[in-house]
């Protein structure tokens, strides 16, 4: 069986790549230096329809199949993983509302998310609750027709600029998910900066002190916060990250192919050295394997196959570790040039390492993939 893109998907991929090469890649270093994504870029991404990639057309979405959405994430990550993270979050929150939100929530938010009028964040992580979300300490109490939220979140991507947050909290010992607007009284954010990777994702700490949220802002039902609401968002996030890691690895491979074809050592081009060829071969094989695992996860997701959840974990685990190894070798091959702050391979290495931590660490994936296989 041949696994490949259709003619239409290849044409769409070319359009994705052209946009990235024109609008993102030339400016990615500036985004990292300034530690933010500019407003004009957000407008351009929205105009391309990327924020509603997986949303229904009725809400201004693109209704992309999972393979096309995966390719979008690969191409974006070739240019900037921070930009890919923004697109991922818009689709994660939009998809979660579309899947588990009520009609009023869908009507109020989905078209605005797809149009980029509303920027979104997923507020799960806390100082004592990262991998194990059951330990979330944020609490909710019901007072008439409003929930009162109290708690603290950290490492929240896009938290500095988001208008809408999907917040995980405990209500009577049961995990619940709430939609919280930035302007809600008692809700505040504090910028976080100088992360080693993904520097332009505009991280923030979030504080909620007697933050009153309308009862209709509960997503799903009481007790639905972790499974299925948070899991729905995280699974789509893992899929995006897996493809994004393929993009990181491919970008590093491309950089190495160019560098080894122009840089000479001992009188011959680097590509003529046997050890360099061995390193390039490992890159090629691992990138191809990671991409095929992403294809598998995408096909199964579109087919609504029960194994799609595990296969997405497999793809994220292999692709993220591949991205780190490939980026590490890319820096090694480039030598001192690869350590220059303006060179993409060092940025890809820093970003790749973070990919091994978010939406489930490498070690958690090692445990869970085996657990689900028995």
**Active-site positions?**
359
- 2: phi then psi, degrees, rounded to nearest 5: -90, 125
Residues 251, 252, 253, 256: what is their CA dihedral angle, to the nearest 10 degrees? 120
Q: Which residue has the tokens 């070798």?
A: 329
Q: Which residue has the tokens 């009520």?
A: 102
Cα–Cα dist 103/213, whole Å: 18
| Three-state DSSP class for residue 130 | coil
| Three-state DSSP class for residue 261 | helix
Find residue 189's DSSP bridge partners: 206
Six-digit token string for 24: 């993102």
| Three-state DSSP class for residue 55 | coil
| Short-list 281, 282, 285, 257, CA closest to 271 | 257
CB 355 within 8 A of CB 317: no
Cα–Cα dist 21/44, whole Å: 14
Helix (H) or strand (E) holding 276: helix 274-302
Cα–Cα dist 149/167, whole Å: 10
Strand pairing of 120-123 and 164-171?
Answer: parallel
78 contacts: CB under 8 Å, gap ≥ 6: 17, 20, 25, 247, 248, 250, 251
**Distance set, CA 306 to CA 16, 250, 301, 302, 369 (Å):** 30, 30, 8, 11, 14
| Three-state DSSP class for residue 196 | coil
Find residue 178's DSSP bridge partners: 167, 218
Q: Specify whether the backbone of 166 is left (phi greater than 0), alpha (psi in -120 to 50) or beta.
A: beta
| Three-state DSSP class for residue 85 | helix
């Amino acid at each position: 069986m041949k696994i490949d893109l259709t003619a239409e998907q290849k044409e769409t991929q070319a359009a994705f790549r052209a946009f990235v090469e024109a609008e993102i890649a030339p400016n990615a270093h500036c985004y990292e230096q300034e530690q933010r994504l500019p407003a004009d870029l957000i407008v351009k991404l929205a105009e391309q329809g990327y924020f509603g990639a997986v949303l229904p057309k009725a809400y201004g979405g693109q209704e992309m199949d999972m393979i096309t959405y995966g390719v979008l994430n690969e191409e974006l990550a070739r240019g900037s993983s921070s930009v890919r993270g923004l697109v991922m979050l818009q689709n994660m929150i939009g998809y979660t509302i579309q899947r588990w939100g009520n009609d009023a929530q869908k009507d109020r938010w989905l078209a605005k998310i797809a149009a980029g009028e509303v920027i979104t964040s997923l507020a799960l992580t806390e100082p004592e609750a990262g991998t194990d979300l059951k330990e979330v300490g944020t609490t909710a109490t019901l007072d008439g027709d409003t929930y009162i939220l109290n708690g603290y979140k950290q490492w929240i991507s896009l938290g500095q600029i988001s208008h809408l947050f999907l917040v995980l909290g405990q209500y009577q010992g049961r995990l619940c998910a709430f939609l919280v607007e930035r302007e809600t009284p008692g809700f505040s954010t504090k910028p976080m900066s100088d992360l080693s990777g993904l520097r332009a994702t505009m991280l923030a700490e979030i504080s909620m002190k007697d933050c009153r949220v309308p009862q209709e802002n509960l997503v799903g039902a009481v007790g639905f916060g972790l499974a299925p609401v948070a899991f729905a968002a995280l699974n789509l996030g893992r899929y995006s990250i897996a493809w994004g890691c393929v993009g990181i690895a491919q970008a590093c491979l491309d950089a190495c192919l160019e560098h080894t074809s122009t840089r000479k050592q001992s009188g011959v081009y680097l590509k003529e050295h046997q050890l360099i060829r061995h390193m390039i071969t490992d890159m090629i094989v691992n990138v191809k394997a990671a991409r095929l695992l992403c294809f598998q996860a995408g096909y199964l997701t579109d087919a609504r196959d029960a194994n799609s959840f595990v296969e997405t974990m497999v793809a994220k685990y292999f692709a993220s570790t591949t991205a780190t190894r490939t980026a590490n070798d890319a820096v090694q091959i480039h030598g001192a040039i690869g350590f220059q702050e303006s060179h993409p391979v060092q940025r890809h290495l820093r970003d790749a390492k973070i990919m091994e931590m978010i939406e489930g660490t490498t070690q958690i994936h090692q445990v869970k993939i085996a657990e689900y296989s028995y």
